[in-house]
C-alpha cells in the first residue's frame, strides 16, 4: 500500500483541520497516511520555509488560511510542484455567506478566541494529565469527574477526551492487591464513574498491549480467572459505593465520554437524586 503524506496548514492552532482530517480518514480502513501539521502559518517567510518540507514529502495539502495573499502564494507554489490543495472551509463558508447575506470575516483562528471557556479547557487538560493513573489523589476533590476501573478499561484516553471538553478528570486503576486511597470513597464534588468491560475483550486488549511491548503474552495479567476476579472486585466496589457504571466493551472513547457527560448533566440537573445503587449505562 502506498503511503500518503497529508499536510495540514493553518493560520491558527490547526485543531479544526485535525478534526476534519480525522473524520475523513476514518472512512478509509487501513489507510497508510503520514500527517504533517503546520500551525500558525501567518507570513510569507513561514510558508516558504515549510514548502521545502512539503515538496520533499509530496501529497495532499489541506489548509485553512484567512490571509488571501498567503493562500494564493501556497496555491501557486503547490501548482508549480504538482501538488493538490483543498481549502477545508471554503464550501461551508460560501453557503453560510449566501444564506446569511453577509461576507465572512477573514480573521485567523477566530473560532478559537481566547475566552474563558478556552482557558478553562486548557486548565482541565493540565489537571487531567497531572492526575492520571491515581496520581495526586489528595487533590481529587477539585476534579469534576473521577474514572475508576481495572487496567486497560480506557480510563486515560477517556479522561483526556473529557478534558478537551472542559472537564477536570482524574482516574484511578482498581487493583485487587492494592486498594485505592480512602479519599476516593469520601469525594463530594466529583462524579465518580466506574468503567467495566467483558473479560474476553479485556484479555484481548491486554494481550495486544503486551505484544506491542515485546513482552510474553501469557501471564497472570491475561489469565481468564484472574481477569474475571479483577472485574468482579471492581463491580462490587462500584455497587457498594453507589457509583454509576459504564460498560465500555462495545463503546468507542467518544461514546464512553458522551455517556459520562450525560451522567454529569443528570447529576447537575438533579435527575439522579435518590439513586442508591450503581447505574449501568
Q: What is the reported pLDDT for 1? A: 57
Q: Express each pLDDT in 158-173 by its tens digit.
A: 999 999 889 999 999 9
Asked if the model's pLDDT at residue 86 lies above 60, the reply is: yes
Are residue 203 and residue 72 in the same domain, yes or no? no
Q: For the segment 3-42, what is each residue's pLDDT rounded down to a tens digit? A: 889 999 998 877 778 888 888 888 887 788 888 988 888 8
Q: Are residues 21 and 157 in the same domain?
A: no
Report yes or no: 221 and 210 within 8 Å, Cβ to Cβ.
Answer: yes
Residues 73 and 169 in one domain: no
136 shares its domain with 262: yes
Say if residue 251 carries a ligand binding annotation.
no
Q: Is the pLDDT of residue 126 over 80?
A: yes
Band (pLDDT 50/70/90 cuts) for residue 109 is low
Based on the domain organization, do 127 and 262 belong to the same domain?
yes
The answer on pLDDT for 278 being more than 60 is: no
Q: Residue 154, annotated ligand binder?
A: yes
- What average pLDDT does the chain have? 87
* Between 256 and 110, residue with greater pLDDT: 256
151 labelled as ligand-binding?
yes
Model confidence at 276, pLDDT cuts 50, 70, 90, reads very low
pTM of whole model > 0.75? no
Q: Which domain holds residue 104?
A: 4-112
Q: Is 242 annotated as a binding residue?
A: no
Please count the structural domains in the chain: 2
Residues 201, 169: one domain? yes
Clarify whether residues 107 and 172 are in a common domain: no
Residue where a domain terminates, one of 112, 130, 150: 112
- The Cα–Cα gap between 229 and 216 comes to 21
The verdict on whether residue 92 carries a ligand-binding annotation is no
What CATH number did the domain enclosing 223 receive? Answer: 3.40.50
Q: Which residues of 48-87 are buried (b: 16+ CB within 10 A; e: fewer)?
A: eeebeebeeeebbbbbbbbbeebbebbbebbeeeebebee
In angstroms, rounded to a whole number, what is the distance separating the alpha carbons of residues 271 and 274?
A: 9
Max mean pLDDT range (31-40, 251-260, 269-278): 251-260
Amino acid at each position: 500500500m502506498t503511503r500518503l503524506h497529508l499536510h495540514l496548514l493553518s493560520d491558527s492552532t490547526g485543531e479544526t483541520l485535525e478534526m476534519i482530517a480525522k473524520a475523513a480518514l476514518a472512512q478509509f480502513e487501513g489507510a497508510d497516511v503520514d500527517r504533517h501539521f503546520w500551525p500558525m502559518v501567518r507570513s510569507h517567510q513561514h510558508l516558504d520555509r515549510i514548502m521545502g518540507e512539503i515538496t520533499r514529502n509530496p501529497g495532499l495539502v489541506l489548509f485553512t488560511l484567512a490571509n488571501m495573499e498567503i493562500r494564493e502564494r501556497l496555491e501557486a507554489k503547490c501548482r508549480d510542484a504538482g501538488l493538490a490543495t483543498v481549502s477545508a472551509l471554503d464550501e461551508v463558508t460560501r453557503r453560510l455567506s449566501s444564506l446569511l447575506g453577509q461576507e465572512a470575516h477573514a480573521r485567523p483562528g477566530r473560532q478559537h478566541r481566547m475566552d474563558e471557556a478556552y482557558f478553562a479547557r486548557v486548565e482541565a487538560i493540565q489537571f487531567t494529565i497531572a492526575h492520571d493513573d491515581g496520581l495526586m489523589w489528595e487533590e481529587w476533590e477539585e476534579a469534576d469527574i473521577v474514572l475508576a476501573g481495572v487496567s486497560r478499561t480506557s480510563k486515560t484516553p477517556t479522561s483526556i477526551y473529557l478534558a478537551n471538553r472542559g472537564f477536570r478528570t482524574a482516574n484511578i486503576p482498581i487493583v485487587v492487591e492494592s486498594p485505592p486511597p480512602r479519599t476516593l470513597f469520601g469525594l463530594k464534588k466529583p462524579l465518580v464513574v466506574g468503567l467495566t468491560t467483558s473479560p474476553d475483550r479485556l484479555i484481548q486488549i491486554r494481550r495486544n498491549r503486551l505484544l506491542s511491548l515485546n513482552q510474553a503474552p501469557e501471564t497472570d495479567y491475561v489469565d481468564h480467572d484472574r481477569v474475571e476476579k479483577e472485574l468482579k472486585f471492581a463491580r462490587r466496589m462500584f455497587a457498594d459505593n453507589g457509583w454509576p457504571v459504564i460498560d465500555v466493551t462495545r463503546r468507542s472513547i467518544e461514546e464512553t465520554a458522551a455517556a459520562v457527560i450525560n451522567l454529569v448533566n443528570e447529576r447537575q440537573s438533579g435527575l439522579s437524586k435518590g439513586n442508591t445503587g450503581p447505574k449501568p449505562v
